[in-house]
Amino acid sequence: MSDYSIAFISNEAVTRGYANDFLTEKWLGNFKVASSINSKRLENFKIDFCLIDASKNFESFNHLKDFCKNTGIKKIIIFHSESDLDKLKRLIKKQTDRIIFRKVERINGGEFFKNQLSELIKVFNPNGYQSFMNLENIETSIPYDLILLGASTGGPEALKQIIGELKPNMPPILLVLHMQPEFMVRYCERLQRITGLKVKRFIDHEKIVPNSIYIADGLNHMEISKTGSDYFLNRGSDEKVKGHCPSVDVLFNSAARLKKSNLLAILLTGMGSDGAEGLNSLKNSGAFTVTQNEETSEVYGMPKAALEIGAAKCVLSLEQITKILSLQEL
């Protein structure tokens, strides 16, 4: 049984039928399919993820703003026609941290929405990562508020491949790479040349913002904390943890204390075991955790250590990791 619940809303009967049949067969948790955001079917129903078909004959624009203020909903994915996007964004412009807009591609009378629901199920069903692990072509519509990356030996080239494919409008990315401080400035410059995102070495007490990649500078540990609704980076000690400063474990453990379920953490190629325990803490706090597979790792130390203690929900190739991250957007 999944801990998450889904609501699917569409005033198109055929689309609702597709969604209901698909969720009945595939979803292991609670769900509701309704014709309107004001439907009595949704009364007293706890919603974690809500998918709203606003692409055709949508009659609830006037109520959408109030509905999106429901802070109990982790994410709301609104499917829209191209002509309605500006109208939707004006209505709910202050709620965009939890809302994803996706243009509808109608495929065979409901296949598009079945594909979207399928991606949710792959991630959030219990043990759903088992099928997720073995997909040759991975796509995901699940948005994350934060993305954490940890790497060591082989990491510089792996990260260049990943970061070079990232698109604008990304959530903040926090990166710990085992690299000597004297090489870090030039490496950041190299990354900046291949991405439109802002690449920077982190600053103590800095507020993190989207479209930015924050990199530990090699002098101190990097940690994350929360004040109110904002997240900040903090400079930790310079004492080595598992032989490293900065340490992936230090960043991951600080993020685990936030207890955010919509957080993606990825442990890439590297020697040793740094990051394994922190990744396990993140998994236990509700985050979605990924390790790079052996075949594409230059050194299969850190990912293997994480896998051995059950810290990874998903084991993926570097190409698959790149694809997942390239599909993320706010």
In this structure, which amino acid lies at residue 176? V
178 is catalytic: yes
Catalytic residue among 5, 10, 141, 152: 152
Contact 79, 52 (CB under 8 A): yes
Q: Which of 88-93's residues contact partners 24+ apart within 8 Å by CB, and which partners?
A: 88/54, 88/61, 88/64, 91/61, 91/64, 91/65, 92/64, 92/65, 92/68
* DSSP sequence for 131-189: HHHT-SS-------SEEEEEE-TTHHHHHHHHHTTPPSSPPPEEEEE---HHHHHHHHH
In whole angstroms, what is the distance from residue 82 CA to residue 10 CA?
17
In whole angstroms, what is the distance from residue 19 CA to residue 67 CA?
21
237 is catalytic: no
Contact 189, 290 (CB under 8 A): no
> In terms of C-beta density within 10 A (0-12 exposed, 13-18 middle, 19 or more buried), how is residue 13 classed?
exposed
In whole angstroms, what is the distance from residue 216 CA to residue 227 CA?
21
In whole angstroms, what is the distance from residue 25 CA to residue 152 CA?
42
Helix (H) or strand (E) holding 8: strand 6-9
In whole angstroms, what is the distance from residue 75 CA to residue 50 CA?
7
Catalytic residue among 48, 145, 249, 274: 274
Catalytic residue among 10, 53, 80, 178: 178
Contact 251, 225 (CB under 8 A): no
152 is catalytic: yes
In whole angstroms, what is the distance from residue 112 CA to residue 123 CA?
18
In whole angstroms, what is the distance from residue 21 CA to residue 208 CA?
41
The catalytic site residues sit at 152, 178, 274
